[in-house]
Amino acid sequence: MNDVPTLQEELDRKALETIEKMEVDLEQGRITVEQYAYGVDLIWLSWAGLVSKDLMPLIEIMGEKKGASATRAFFYRGDGRAVVITNDLKGKVLIESFSRGDLPDAQGIDRTNEPNPSVAGRRVYEQVIARFIERGFTQI
C-alpha cells in the first residue's frame, strides 16, 4: 500500500485549496473583485490541461462569477413592504424600498472614495442587511 499521493492528486488538491482560499478571501473582503478576476485568469492559464477533468467545470464557474457586476439581497415583510439591496462590488450600495400602491423609494450609499471601495461597500451592504433583518424583514 502506497499512501503517497500521485502527482495528479497533488495538483488537484492544490487547485482546490487555491480556489477555496480565493472564494473565502473575496467573501470576507480581503481581496477585491478585480483581484479575484485576475486570480481566476491566472488559475486558468496555469492549470488548464493539468488538473483532472472534474475540476475544469469549477474553474469555468469561477470565470463566470468574475464577470458578476453586482450582488443583491431581497427582503419582504408581512405588511407588504419589500426591499432590494444592491452592492455594485465597486463601493456603491443601493437600497430600494417598495410598498403596495406607492412609488419605489431609492437611497444610495457611496464608498468609492475609501482606500478599498469594494471592501467598504461590502461592509455597508452587510450592515444594511443586518438592519433590515432587525426591523423584521425576511430575506427571500
Closest CA to 76 of 85, 86, 63: 85
Report which of residues 109 and 67 the model is more confident about.
109
Report which of residues 135 and 40 the model is more confident about.
135
Task: Supply the pLDDT for residue 133.
Answer: 93
For the chain, how far is it from start to end, CA to CA, in angstroms?
51
In tens, the pLDDT along 2-44 reads 788 888 888 888 887 887 888 788 878 888 777 887 887 788 7
Task: Supply the pLDDT for residue 19.
Answer: 79
Confidence label for 130 from pLDDT (cuts 50, 70 and 90): very high
- Please state, in angstroms and as integers, the Cα–Cα distance from residue 87 to each residue in 19, 43, 75, 81, 109, following that order: 23, 26, 14, 20, 10
The CATH number for 71-139, chosen from 1.10.3720.10, 2.20.140.10, 3.90.1170.50, 3.50.50.60, is 2.20.140.10
Residue 84 three-state SS: strand
Task: Supply the pLDDT for residue 91.
Answer: 86
Lowest mean pLDDT among 83-87, 108-112, 126-130, 134-138: 83-87
Task: Supply the pLDDT for residue 55.
Answer: 66
In tens, the pLDDT along 49-108 reads 787 776 666 666 666 566 556 677 888 887 878 888 888 878 899 998 877 666 678 899
Per-domain residue ranges for the chain? 7-66, 71-139
